[in-house]
Amino acid sequence: MTRALIPGSFDPITLGHVDIIERCTNLFEDVIVGVANNWSKRYLFNAHERVSLAKTVTQNLANVQVARVEGLLALWCEQNGVDVIVKGLRTAGDASFELPQATVNHNLADIETLFLPTRAHLAHISSTIVKEVAVNKGSVRAMVPEPVERALRDRIDSTTTL
């Protein structure tokens, strides 16, 4: 069985993320959406909330599961029988960031990373942009699934400062 991990912080999960996940369901037998923490990021949603949102928006995809990824990604993959890491690339900047990580992951656990280009109509979407638009009361309807839009609105309406 071919198991693929799509790792990310997913704060929040966007339509770009969902597109990569859906495309992977046609390429791999088992797809894991791995919700991880990045110590350099400030999160709007905690890990439990990000896992929950990812489960909600992928619930109709039969071969997708959502898991919390802790520790070194390569070692987590090794411990959980993951065959390949899949990363979506929006820009050349993403590639510059992801290529060294792919090399480290391969050196640590002999795991390959597959880069899947984001579809052009979704390439402008990032979780950071989504949060910026939402915090400033703009519409994120074209950037995130409806349950995520609702969660963003609820979180921002209930929070005085981020």
Annotated catalytic residue 158: no
41 annotated ligand-binding residue: yes
Annotated catalytic residue 90: yes
Q: Are 8 and 21 in contact, with CB atoms under 8 Å apart?
A: no
* Catalytic option among 3, 55, 90, 106: 90
122 annotated ligand-binding residue: yes
98 annotated ligand-binding residue: yes
Could you please report the per-residue DSSP string of 119-144?
PGGGTT--HHHHHHHHHTT---TTTS
Annotated catalytic residue 48: no
129 annotated ligand-binding residue: no
128 annotated ligand-binding residue: yes
137 annotated ligand-binding residue: no
Annotated catalytic residue 41: yes
23 annotated ligand-binding residue: no
Question: Hey, CA dihedral for 78, 80, 83, 84, is it positive or negative?
Answer: negative
96 annotated ligand-binding residue: no
E strands along 38-83, which residues?
64-68
Q: What is the C-alpha end-to-end distance of the chain, expressed in Å?
A: 42
Radius of gyration of the chain (CA): 15
Residue stretches of the annotated binding site for substrate: 9, 41, 73, 87
Residue stretches of the annotated binding site: 9-10, 17, 41, 73, 87-90, 98, 122-128
Residues acting as catalytic residues: 17, 41, 90, 127
